Copies of this chain bind each other. A is one copy, B any other.
Amino acid sequence: MTTTLSPTPTAGLDRAALLLDAFDGPGRLTLAQIVRRTGLPRSSAHRMLERLVQLRWLRREGRDYELGMRLFELGSLAVHQDRLHRAALPFLHELHRLTGHAVHLAVLEGIDVVYLEKIAGRFGVGLPSRVGGRQPAHCTSVGKVLLAHSPESVVDRVVEAGLPRSTRFSIDSPAAFRAELQKTRERGAAYDREEDLVGVSCVAVPVGTEDNVVAAISVCGPSSQIKLDHRLTAPIRMSAKGAWRNYMSTATPGAGRADRYSA
């Protein structure tokens, strides 16, 4: 097999992205598995993988490759340097201290939510959320509150994707789901009644203004301890307001904030 020249300056980058994306799921992969998943020629894949190991974007353990330390460092920098995350962090800690429950900060990415932060005790270990992790937006309180403030076209995409259920309480009918988003808008908060995990309930509120919601904050706990009403919503709303004020006070004039977290 001959080495081919990259036809464009970004071809090597595209191939690296393809290789790294292959690790989204299984964790560790052999060269043969990577070749199968990416469709790249074996010799070219091998050369790229070895370079990725040198750069510490991947790590090799015996015959297995896995995601590496440099990628971890860059990824954690991405959230550490994120102005919204920084602005919200003290309020999230305070909310966790106040409620004793798991606190999340999340943004919408396509039809999923991605968690920017999770502050939780041991209870949090059992939750499906994790920092940097994705969940289908329609089953989570953060996702529902973000969708309730998204353009209709985004909601259409979620509905077209089929509203797969996580539990028997998940809302899987398009009509019921659209009605749920309407209720969410009216009350200014989303409730998750064991729709993502049986036994766990959550409340989420938006961060931002009516026409510029950039993130959501939620509190999750055992259903027996979570009252889905204003007593829990009020402190979450206070945190969201504080985070937003903090975020706006550090805004760069002229930067396109409204596009900040568009997918």
With contacts A62-B255, A74-B71 known, is A6 near B11, CB below 8 A?
yes
Q: How many residues of A contact B (CB 8 A)?
A: 70
The segment from A128-136, A156-164, A165-173, A238-246 found at the interface with B is A128-136
CB distance from A185 to the nearest CB of B (A): 26
Q: Chain B residues near A228 (CB, 8 Å)? A: none
Contact of A76 with B75 in the complex, beta carbons under 8 Å: yes
A116 and B59 alpha carbons, distance in the complex (Å): 15
CB distance from A14 to the nearest CB of B (A): 7
CB distance from A166 to the nearest CB of B (A): 19
Q: Which residues 92-123 in A have Cβ within 8 Å of B in the complex?
A: 93-94, 97, 107, 109, 114, 116, 121-122
Counted per complex, copies of this chain come to: 2
Q: Chain B residues near A260 (CB, 8 Å)? A: 61
Q: Chain B residues near A153 (CB, 8 Å)? A: none
The segment from A31-39, A47-55, A215-223 found at the interface with B is A47-55
User: Would you list 7 pairs from A and B whose C-beta atoms are within 8 A, ordered by A residue?
Assistant: A11-B12, A12-B12, A13-B51, A20-B74, A61-B252, A61-B256, A69-B107
Residues of chain A whose beta carbon lies under 8 Å from any beta carbon of chain B:
3-17, 20, 23-24, 27-28, 44, 47-48, 51-52, 55, 57, 61-62, 64, 66-69, 71-82, 89-90, 93-94, 97, 107, 109, 114, 116, 121-122, 125, 130-134, 252, 254-257, 259-260
Query: Given contacts A20-B74, A24-B77, A93-B122, could you give 6 more A-B pairs where the C-beta distance is less than 8 Å?
Result: A6-B12, A10-B48, A12-B15, A62-B254, A72-B78, A75-B132
